[in-house]
Amino acid sequence: MTGLFHKVGFLLYCFLTTAVPLKVLPPENVHLGWKNGLYQELSWSPPKQSGKHCSYQINSTKKYEGQEGTSFVNIEHSLYWHDEKVLNGGFLNMSIQTVCNGTMSDPVFVTLNDPDLQLWCIILSSNLTRCYWKPPSSADIRFFYNSDGDDNNVSVPLQECPLYTNNIRTGCDLPVDPEEPLNVLLNGTANNRTIRNIHHFEFLKLKLAPLNWTVKESKKEFHISWTPPEFPNYRWKYYINYTACSYTKDLEIVTGLSAVLPRSPECSYDISMRAVVEYNGGTEWTRNKHYDAISGRDYILFAVILIPLLMAVLVILSLVWCMKNRENIFPKVPQPNPELFNDILNNNNKISISNFYMTKVEEECHLTVMVDYKLIKPEL
């Protein structure tokens, strides 16, 4: 009878264990850490009453260039996991679940949702890289970096920015090799909370100084030459932008360090150029060089020569006219009385004003009166 009860109990246990599976418990003491300050790592403790054939599934959601991406990884025989890729931002949503015999526990979530500091870095020269970021108001943010070469498994210690661009720390100048990958950690506090932004740059955009170039002009064309920028290993393309007669065009140069631009004499030209590496920036645009239309220059030269000639002709004609009309323009002045000086010498300066000039001598006129007696009648 006792054996019968044992058999019934065993059958009941089997029925209950197969019909109603035991609930799988989630892992405990889940902790998010940072390997070398850059790579996220997760550690945990196994749940109580876990089976021998249990594993753990980790779901990780990150943002890259504004888009969210989710990855899955299954961990067996370990209570630790780390990611070999940098976060790229300040957003991370992770969950971990226990998986036993195909049954999953409830997830345990670990999140990081710090404000995006909008970090960007550019190459200014072969020995200078500059990074900028936009911290929140009243934030205290510090910049850490390393250049880890081509192998992400080689851990290079982080070091702080050697030269901040201002006192409020919104920029940093880095003496790093611009052709090597760059890892950056922005870490600090704002509004009584910790902020962490982590970024990895496989390559950086170029923003080099304008090209050193020259332009030699002729009546028919422009001869343009330039010195190549730094980084000779890059495949450079050169773009010449010019405006002529109110239309704008671009001339692309793939090989060589010179170009010939045809010229329309009636158009003025504004020319500038830059060098570009595809998908990787380039140099700044050079300053415009302005060239006037050739026909416009002829008019100016003609005016410069003609105006002095016209002025000379006008002066000569004016002199000829003055010579012909000198008597009207410059009338004769009456001659002074020659006796004036004798009076001064002989009469002790007794001079009358009337003696200053010669008196006009009146001519004597003799009149003859003839009487016609025939017309006179005698009085009776």
- What pLDDT tens digit does each residue of the chain (380 aa) get? 445 444 545 554 454 445 445 688 999 999 999 888 888 899 999 988 776 778 999 998 887 666 777 888 998 888 999 887 878 888 888 999 999 888 889 999 998 888 889 899 999 998 899 999 998 888 889 999 998 654 454 568 899 999 999 888 899 999 888 888 899 999 999 888 889 999 988 888 999 999 999 999 998 999 999 999 988 888 999 999 999 988 899 999 998 999 999 999 989 999 999 999 988 899 999 999 999 998 655 556 667 788 888 888 888 888 887 777 777 776 666 666 666 556 655 655 555 555 544 555 555 656 565 655 555 555 54
Q: Are residues 287 and 232 in the same domain?
A: yes
CATH number for the domain harbouring residue 279? 2.60.40.10
User: What's the confidence (pLDDT) of residue 337?
Assistant: 60
Query: Is 357 a domain residue?
Result: no
What pLDDT is recorded for position 281? 92
Shared domain check, 285 and 313: no
* Count of domains observed in the chain: 4
Residues 27 and 98 in one domain: yes
Separation CA 107–CA 104 (nearest Å):
8
Distances (CA, A) of 91 to 100, 117, 143, 171: 30, 11, 18, 22
Residue 85 lies in a domain: yes
36 lies in the same domain as 90: yes
Give the C-alpha separation, 180 to 267, whole Å: 47
What is the number of H-type helices and E-type strands within the chain? 4, 25
Token couple for 318: 């004016």
**Sequence-ordered list of residues with C-beta below 8 angstroms from that of 175, at least 6 positions apart, any chain:** 127, 128, 129, 162
In a domain, 365, yes or no: no
Q: Are residues 234 and 307 in the same domain?
A: no
**Helix segments in 288-334, DSSP class H:** 294-324, 326-329
Residue 190 included in any domain: yes
Question: Does residue 349 lie in a domain region?
Answer: no
Report the alpha-carbon distance of residue 31 to residue 81 in Å, rounded.
11
Q: Are 124 and 208 in contact (CB under 8 A)?
A: yes
| Cα separation, 4 vs 76, whole angstroms | 42
Q: Do 35 and 109 belong together in one domain?
A: yes
Domain identity same for 281 and 265: yes
Task: Give pTM, 2 decimals.
Answer: 0.64
> Domain of 75?
22-113
At residue 277, the pLDDT reads 93
State whether 101 and 40 are in the same domain: yes
Task: Check whether residue 97 and residue 67 sit in a common domain.
Answer: yes
Q: 369-378: long-range contacts at Cβ-Cβ below 8 A with a sequence spacing of 24 or more?
A: none
Whether residues 199 and 232 share a domain: the answer is no
Would you say residue 361 lies in a domain? no
Question: Is 27 in the same domain as 106?
Answer: yes
Domain boundary among 113, 145, 170: 113
Amino acid at 187: N
Residue 369 located in a structural domain: no
Domain membership flag for residue 16: no
Farthest CA pair distance, the chain: 222
Give yes or no: residues 265 and 300 share one domain: no
